[in-house]
A = this chain, B = another copy of it.
């Protein structure tokens, strides 16, 4: 009976922390979409909302870290339960980084509204952001359902995001070479594309954690390797 009591207390505490992770994930998903929308529609008010909202995301990460450390100290979890909590802490770290990138995207909206728009690029960036948001949603679902297959699917889809990034990289180079007046705005847009691609990397990292949690090992060959493609695609990573 004593054992059962301890297990239940652990599970209840863990459930509370998992609810915080889901809340954090929801805020980050919204931040990605809002940041991309603010860019496409040149909506500075929405951009400001994203920037201000990042504080809530950061606060949730601190809370999750605190609660996780307290849970470990209080309940001395078994090896498997411990792995879950350490995974939760890593996931919250990844979410915080993705939130930072969304905030940075929103910051650049404020700069880009003062420049002539680059044809088609904002819509392409928004599609890329939308893909990353869907990947994040699935990665978090995979975590909750301990679904390694869904997590592997997310890892595979990061390849599409990398390809979108590489296409945009080439497009921005062309715009800059055609007209030097495009250089400054293309530099900012390129950063946004790169940061979105990095968001995809962090989502992939979450999915890899889920696979590790379920199967006990990080997928070695699951993740698309830049090295297998052209040197330009390779440089797209990191």
Contact = CB atoms under 8 A, between A and B. Distances in A.
Interface of A: 65, 69, 72-73, 76-79, 82-83, 86, 89-90, 93, 100-101, 103-104, 107-108, 110-111, 173, 176-177, 180, 183-184, 187-188, 190-191, 194-195, 231, 234-235, 237-238
Question: In the complex this chain forms, how many copies of it are found?
Answer: 2
A235 B189 CA distance: 12
B176 A180 contact: yes
Nearest to A190: B187
18 contacts: A69-B79, A72-B72, A72-B82, A73-B77, A73-B79, A73-B82, A103-B238, A104-B237, A104-B238, A108-B235, A111-B235, A173-B184, A176-B183, A183-B183, A187-B190, A191-B194, A191-B235, A195-B238
Contacts of A235: 104, 107-108, 111, 188, 191
